[in-house]
Structures are given as structure tokens and as C-alpha cells.
């Protein structure tokens, strides 16, 4: 046990070094203040959102429906994230050689890694849920026992998503090793599983409707969708010790069962994942010369596609954009018909159709901001950053190489989505031109923000890609900026729509502002970003 705790401590000090920023002596504010401020802002946003949803239900006794929704959505979020994080966190870790050589059981190694995964997911879960739990407690005047149950629930609710993620992630990692292009197979399989999860969560709307219509059966429905949430809500509505014991026992038992079962085949899977199938039967090598910038961009794209975590993380928003464009175009008549039927003043089908360019512009902006590829590109350099810095190219060129590579991933996807909407809704020339320009400018703005954040908060000692892409301060800040910018854009679209502003005017103004911001970011990057780049030591 002492050995396991020791290993867990060592592992946590490496993997969970969330506040560690590489490279230089930073102020206490940068190390602790910034992440705390970001975390507090995120929790305040969640609390406000929870209160807004709960307010109409005050006094009806149905306030817990909001709590249920947050629990279920947090679980879906953890599950989708966990599926692609699991294979990176559990298998083929950089510290495998040291850890597996230690005189401890292999199942203990797995347990430690699962614990690390669990603690991170619990932290994320708490960011989502704790504010809403507090709001519920305040709104309903809940007794002290409610808070005790909620704290225990914060610790137990991540278990099921983690167990499912580990099993699916492990299966994907193992299956992918049978193929030469294991990364590609891993990306495709993970994407399929995540799309299924997205599809199922879209269908959750029916469940929510059923919940709203049939309050008496709410807990049954929730239990059916996500058993631990049902148990928790049951405890919130009426505490009983035996229910508490079942809640704790079922979740902890599930975790132990997974560790014991997976522990038996963990070493076998991990050994197979390590095998590099490289016998391509081609011994002649080709010598091809390229311009430095082309070579830099190719290197970045190669790094991107070699990492399933990186691809899935970035690809999620892009796939959602395409789905939204295709789905929106295919179902436009029905959706607009429904709007007409509502008969709300100022909300006519004609007005909505006129406003489609502005909505598309907003979508391009939001998905750009949510797809911050560059926010981990510096961190992913790791120790090889020294080699990059020793090369005879300017720091600005290296940074721009990363931004261009990210844009080459994003822009074609946006243009395909745009094309679908152009064809379906018949935009005029100026609208097409502005949207096409926006589909280049907005990703560039988003990626410049990402790289600036990563230069300020690099994590050069990440043990694996998951740490750099998902568990770093840089990615947390970039995601928070993306969420805040998206919320602002949603508000702007809504208010300009209601004010009667024309779509062309809205898009034109937005594009002009985007260009000004872009110029500002480029100036900042040249003046201060390069300094940050040069100051990073590995």
C-alpha cells in the first residue's frame, strides 16, 4: 500500500502539475492567480446558468430536474472526453519503462493510472456540478445532509463515465495495434464511438421531454439513462442510509471490478500498443527539398495527424460544424415552418431566412474559437523544442508555421460547410465573399489566440499528448476564451437579429472587427509572442 501511495504521489506530481508553467520564473499571479481566476469565472458562469434554468421552477418542487440535467450532461461530457483520453493516459506512457520495472503489481500500475484519470475527471466534474449543487441548496433551503450527499456524489459520479471510457479506450487501443496505421485506426474508431455518443445525446431531448411531462417518473427515466445520477437524485429527494450505502458500494465496486478485470490483461495490451509496425518493405528513401515554411507546416501537420488525442480534440468542433450545416440545410423548411407557427412578434420565417448569412458567420466564429489547435502546439514540442530553436529560422516563422498548419486543417472544413449552406439558401455574391473571407480570418484569429496562450503557459514536460492537449493550463484558458467569445457572439447575433439589422451589415461589421483583432494579435505576437517563445527553456 505504501508503495502504491508513493507511486501515486510521484505520478500526480508529474501528471497533475496543472499549475506548472515551463521555462522561466513566473510570478505567483501567473502560476496560481490565472488558473484560479479562470476556474472561478467558469464556476460563476455555471452557477448563473443553473440559476437561470432553476428560477422558473422555484416552488414547484421540480428544481431537482435542473440538477439532474447538469449531472447527466457532465457525465456525457466526461464520457466523450474520457474515451479519447483513456488510451493516451493508460497505455504507452512515457514513464512505462521506469514504472513497469518497479517491484509492484501491474494491476497496481493500472490502478494508479486510473486514479490519476479519476482525479482529473473529478476536478472537471466539480467545475461543472459544484456551482449548480450550491445554487440548488440555496434555492431550496436544503438541509446539511444534502451538502454531505452532494460532496460524496461529486466524488462518485465520475466513476461510471471513467469505467466506460477505460473499457472502450482500451478496446480501441488494443484493436488498433492489429493494423499498420494504428493511429489512423484509433482516430477513426474513437470518432465513430464519439459520434454515436453525440447522436444518443441528441436523442436525449426525447427523454428530457418525457421528464418534463411526467414528473412522477423522472427518477426512473434518469436512472435508466445514467444509474448513478438516479441514485444521487433519489438521495437528494429523500435521504436514507441504505440508499447511501448502495450508492457508494455500487460505484466503488464498479471501479474495483474494472481495475481487477482490466488489470489481468493490462500488461498484454500495453505491450502490444508499444509495438511499432514499421516494416513497410521499402528500403529506398527519397530526398526531397522544400522551402523552410513549407517544411515547417508539413512537420506540424504530420505531428497533428500522428496524435489521435490531438485530432479528435480538434475534430470535434469541425465535425459539429459540418453536421450543423448539413442538418440545418436539410431540415430548414421544417425548422422555419415551426418558427412561423409560433407566431412570435418579430420572428417570421422571412426574417430568419434573410438572417441565415449572419447565423452562418456566427457559427464559423464560434466553431473557430472552440477549435483551438495551436493552444497545445508549443507544449507538444516537448524536449525536441531545443532542436527547433537551434535551427536557422526566425521564431516568428516557426510560430506562423504552426498557425498556418492549424488553418490548413480548419479552413477546408469551414469552406465545405459554407458551400452546403450557399447552395441551399442561395446567398448573393457579397455575402458569399464575406463568409469565405470570414472562414479564413476567424480560424486565424482563433489560432493566434491559441498560440499566444500556449506561449504564455507552455507545458513542455508533458508525459503524453493527453497532458499537453487536455490537461494543461493553456488548453483550459483557450477553451474558456472560446466559450466566452462564443457566448458573446450568440448574444450579438440575437440582439442584431431582434434589432432588425440586415445580415449583410452584421457580417460586414463582424468581419471588419475580426480583421482589426487579427491585426492586433499579429502585432502582439511579433512584439511579445516572440519574446515568450525565446524565453521557453526545456
Partner 1 sequence: MIKISKVTKKYGTKKALNNVSFEVNEGEIFAFIGHNGAGKTTLIKAIMGIHDFDEGEILINGKSIKSRPVACKKEMAYVPDNPELYENMRAIQFINFVCDMYEVDERRRERNINKYAKMFEISQNLNDTIESFSHGMKQKIALIAALSHEPKIMVMDEPFVGLDPKAVFDMKELMREMAKEGKTIFFSTHILDVAEKLCTKVAIIKGGKIMKVGSMSEVKGDKSLENVFLELEK
Binding residues for partner 1, rule: CB under 8 A, are: 25, 276, 278, 280, 282-292, 294-296, 298-299, 302-303, 306-307, 382-384, 386-387, 389-394, 534-535, 537
Least CB distance from residue 281 to partner 1, whole Å? Answer: 9
Nearer to partner 1, 190 or 307 (CB): 307
Least CB distance from residue 536 to partner 1, whole Å? Answer: 10
328 three-state secondary structure: helix
Least CB distance from residue 280 to partner 1, whole Å? Answer: 6
Nearer to partner 1, 23 or 443 (CB): 23
Nearer to partner 1, 338 or 386 (CB): 386
Residue 253 sits at the vertex; the CA angle it makes with 249 and 258, to the nearest 5 degrees, is 160
Nearer to partner 1, 331 or 394 (CB): 394
Three cell numbers written together for 225: 439513462
Least CB distance from residue 279 to partner 1, whole Å? Answer: 9
List CB contacts of 20: < 8 A, sequence separation 6 or more: 31, 459, 461
Least CB distance from residue 166 to partner 1, whole Å? Answer: 24
**Of residues 298, 309, 282, 329, the one with CA closest to residue 376:** 309
Q: How many CB atoms lie within 10 A of CB 214?
A: 11
Q: How many CB atoms lie within 10 A of CB 47?
A: 17
Nearer to partner 1, 206 or 278 (CB): 278
Least CB distance from residue 18 to partner 1, whole Å? Answer: 22
Nearer to partner 1, 82 or 529 (CB): 529
Three cell numbers written together for 390: 537551434
Least CB distance from residue 284 to partner 1, whole Å? Answer: 8
Least CB distance from residue 57 to partner 1, whole Å? Answer: 51
| Residue that has been written with the C-alpha cell 502539475 in this structure | 17
Three cell numbers written together for 251: 460505484
List CB contacts of 240: < 8 A, sequence separation 6 or more: none
Nearer to partner 1, 137 or 292 (CB): 292
Nearer to partner 1, 24 or 237 (CB): 24
Least CB distance from residue 109 to partner 1, whole Å? Answer: 22
Provide DSSP, 475-493. HHHHHHHHHHHHHHHHHHH
340 near 489, Cβ under 8 Å?
no
Least CB distance from residue 395 to partner 1, whole Å? Answer: 8
Distance from CA of residue 89 to its chain's centroid?
Answer: 16
Nearer to partner 1, 209 or 537 (CB): 537
Query: How deeply is 207 buried, as exposed, middle or buried, from its count of CB atoms within 10 A (0-12, 13-18, 19+)?
Result: middle
CA dist., res. 46 & res. 258, Å (int): 32
Q: Which three-class secondary structure string do you get for 357-371?
A: HHHHHHHHHHHHHHC
509 near 54, Cβ under 8 Å?
no
Nearer to partner 1, 2 or 283 (CB): 283
378-407 b/e (C-beta count within 10 Å ≥ 16 → b): bbbbbeebeebbeeeeebeebbbbbbbbbb
Nearer to partner 1, 165 or 313 (CB): 313
Does an H or E element contain 234, and which? helix 227-237
231 near 220, Cβ under 8 Å?
no
Least CB distance from residue 300 to partner 1, whole Å? Answer: 10
**Of residues 534, 388, 474, the one with CA closest to residue 20:** 474
Amino acid at each position: 500500500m505504501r508503495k502504491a501511495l508513493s507511486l501515486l504521489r510521484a505520478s500526480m506530481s508529474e501528471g497533475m502539475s496543472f499549475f506548472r508553467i515551463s521555462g522561466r520564473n513566473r510570478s505567483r499571479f501567473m502560476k496560481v492567480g490565472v488558473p484560479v481566476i479562470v476556474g472561478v469565472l467558469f464556476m460563476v458562469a455555471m452557477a448563473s446558468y443553473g440559476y437561470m434554468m432553476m428560477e422558473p421552477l422555484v416552488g414547484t418542487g421540480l428544481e431537482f430536474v435542473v440538477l439532474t440535467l447538469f449531472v447527466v450532461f457532465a457525465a456525457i461530457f466526461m464520457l466523450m472526453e474520457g474515451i479519447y483520453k483513456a488510451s493516451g493516459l493508460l497505455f504507452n506512457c512515457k514513464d512505462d519503462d521506469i514504472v513497469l520495472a518497479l517491484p509492484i503489481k501491474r494491476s497496481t500500475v493500472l490502478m494508479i493510472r486510473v486514479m490519476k484519470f479519476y482525479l482529473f475527471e473529478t476536478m472537471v466534474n466539480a467545475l461543472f456540478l459544484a456551482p449548480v449543487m450550491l445554487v440548488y441548496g440555496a434555492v431550496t433551503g436544503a438541509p446539511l445532509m444534502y451538502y454531505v450527499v452532494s460532496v460524496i456524489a461529486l466524488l462518485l459520479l465520475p466513476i461510471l463515465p471513467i469505467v466506460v471510457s477505460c473499457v472502450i479506450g482500451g478496446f480501441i487501443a488494443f484493436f488498433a495495434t492489429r493494423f499498420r496505421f494504428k493511429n489512423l485506426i484509433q482516430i477513426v474508431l474513437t470518432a465513430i464511438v464519439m459520434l454515436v455518443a453525440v447522436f444518443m445525446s441528441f436523442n436525449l431531448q426525447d427523454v428530457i421531454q418525457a421528464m418534463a411531462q411526467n414528473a412522477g417518473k423522472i427518477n426512473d427515466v434518469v436512472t435508466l439513462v445514467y444509474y448513478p445520477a438516479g441514485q444521487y437524485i433519489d438521495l437528494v429527494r429523500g435521504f436514507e442510509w441504505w440508499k447511501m450505502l448502495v450508492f457508494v458500494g455500487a460505484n466503488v465496486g464498479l471501479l474495483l471490478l474494472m481495475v481487477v478485470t482490466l488489470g489481468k490483461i493490462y500488461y498484454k495490451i500495453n505491450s502490444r500498443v508499444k509495438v511499432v509496425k514499421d516494416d513497410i518493405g521499402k528500403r529506398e528513401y527519397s530526398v526531397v527539398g522544400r522551402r523552410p515554411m513549407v517544411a515547417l507546416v508539413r512537420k506540424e501537420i504530420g505531428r497533428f495527424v500522428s496524435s489521435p488525442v490531438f485530432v479528435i480534440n480538434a475534430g470535434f468542433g469541425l465535425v459539429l460544424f459540418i453536421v450543423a450545416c448539413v442538418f440545418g440545410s436539410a431540415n430548414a423548411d421544417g425548422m422555419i415552418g415551426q418558427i412561423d407557427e409560433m407566431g412570435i412578434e418579430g420572428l417570421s420565417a422571412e426574417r430568419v431566412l434573410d438572417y441565415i448569412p449572419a447565423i452562418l458567420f456566427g457559427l464559423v466564429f464560434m466553431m473557430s474559437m472552440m477549435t483551438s489547435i495551436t493552444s497545445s502546439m508549443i507544449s507538444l514540442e516537448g524536449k525536441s523544442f531545443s532542436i527547433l530553436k537551434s535551427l536557422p529560422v526566425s521564431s516568428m516563422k516557426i510560430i506562423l508555421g504552426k498557425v498556418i498548419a492549424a488553418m490548413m486543417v480548419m479552413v477546408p472544413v469551414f469552406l465545405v460547410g459554407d458551400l452546403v449552406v450557399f447552395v441551399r439558401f442561395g446567398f448573393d455574391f457579397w455575402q458569399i465573399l464575406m463568409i469565405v473571407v470570414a472562414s479564413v480570418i476567424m480560424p486565424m484569429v482563433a489560432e493566434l489566440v491559441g498560440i499566444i496562450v500556449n506561449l504564455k503557459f507552455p507545458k513542455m514536460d508533458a508525459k503524453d499528448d493527453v497532458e499537453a492537449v487536455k490537461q494543461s493550463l493553456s488548453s483550459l484558458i483557450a477553451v474558456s476564451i472560446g466559450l466566452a467569445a462564443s457566448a458573446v457572439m450568440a448574444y450579438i447575433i440575437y440582439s442584431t437579429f431582434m434589432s432588425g439589422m440586415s445580415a449583410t451589415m452584421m457580417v460586414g461589421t463582424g468581419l471588419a472587427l475580426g480583421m482589426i483583432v487579427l491585426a492586433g494579435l499579429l502585432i502582439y505576437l511579433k512584439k511579445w509572442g516572440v519574446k515568450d517563445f525565446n524565453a521557453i527553456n526545456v
